[in-house]
Amino acid sequence: MRDISVELKNISKKFHTIQNETMAIDDISFKVYEGEILAIVGPSGCGKSTILSIIAGLVKPSGGILNIKNKNIGFMFQKDQLYEWRTIFKNAVIGLEVQDKLTQNNIQKIEEMLENYGLGSFKNHYPSQLSGGMRQRVALIRTLAVEPEILLLDEPFSALDYQTRLTVGNEVGTILRERKITTILVTHDIPEAVSISDRVLVLTERPARIKKEFNIVFNTMETNRTPMKCRQSSEFGEYFKNIWEEMDVVE
């Protein structure tokens, strides 16, 4: 059995406002194994972002137990959240800057990553000069720069247009697999979940509970699996149909 990286046990969360209280999550339990890519799908407003915030320690759960082996967490949002006053390079290193890890070695690594992801010549540009896809790539580099052991992705591609979303999704999915980073990907795009992840959790409507779990295995691709190849594989449609049926009942 592989090592467990993150474990949620009976986690629940209520949000309190003056008008009312909202039960966002009700008794969620799941494990994420090391190096695994887990996708969470569910209707919007069901509590997916809340789950990530709890794992990241940004929000305290109302009840339950959270076990995390490693506290070094990277978070990527729907919007790239690049700081418009910083150049691309300065944006990419902000995490290192905050953690006081701006070593020559790390700077060089960032420069290499920018180069590898086709952003080398945009190093000194400002975010407003880049396309949405490029910006999201910078956001990924910024996240990977601090070498997180766990990556939380909150609908990271949903602000991109369809074409870019496929490309960036493919790139990111490939990188995650190469680097064997433990990842939780929240999305409401079923093809995205199937093509990128090893396992898909389907959540109910709010308050979120786990409705169904799917292991995603592509027998044709034991090694060098990429999201694009998965999309073209014959098993893809079956997974899509099964998950979609689960989601559809909910709607």
Partner 1 sequence: MLLSDKGMSEEHKMFLEGIKKEKRVIKISQVILLLVFFGVWQLAANLKIIDTFLTSSPKQIFDLLLKLSENGMIFKHLWVSTQETIVGFLLGTTIGIITAILLWMSERAAKIMEPYLIILNSLPKTALAPVIILWAGAGFSGIVVTAAAVSVVITIMTVYTGFKNVEEDKIILLKTFGATKLQILQKVIIPANIPIMISAMKVNIGLSWVGVIVGEFLVSKAGIGYLIVYGGQVFKLDLVMTSVFILAITAGIMYFIALWIEKKVIKY
Residues that bind partner 1 (CB under 8 A): 56, 58, 73-75, 77, 79, 81, 83-86, 94-95, 97-99, 126-129, 146
Strand partners of residue 213: 201
Judging by beta carbons within 10 Å of its beta carbon (0-12, 13-18, 19+), is residue 143 exposed, middle or buried?
Answer: buried
Q: Which does 81 bind (CB under 5 to 8 A by kind): Mg ion, partner 1, ligand ADP, none?
A: partner 1
Does residue 12 touch Mg ion according to CB under 5 A? no
- State the first-to-last Cα distance of the chain, in angstroms, to the nearest integer: 36
CB 188 to Mg ion: min, Å: 9
Q: Which does 251 bind (CB under 5 to 8 A by kind): partner 1, ligand ADP, Mg ion, none?
A: none
Angle between helices 104-116 and 132-145 (to 10 degrees): 150
Q: Which does 117 bind (CB under 5 to 8 A by kind): partner 1, Mg ion, ligand ADP, none?
A: none
Of 46-75, which residues contact ligand ADP (CB under 6 A)? 46-50
Angle, vertex CA 108, rays to CA 102 and CA 111, nearest 5:
110
CB 34 to partner 1: min, Å: 20
Cα–Cα distances (Å) from 217 to 26, 165, 182, 198, 234, in that order, read 29, 22, 17, 7, 12
Binding site for Mg ion (CB under 5 A): 49
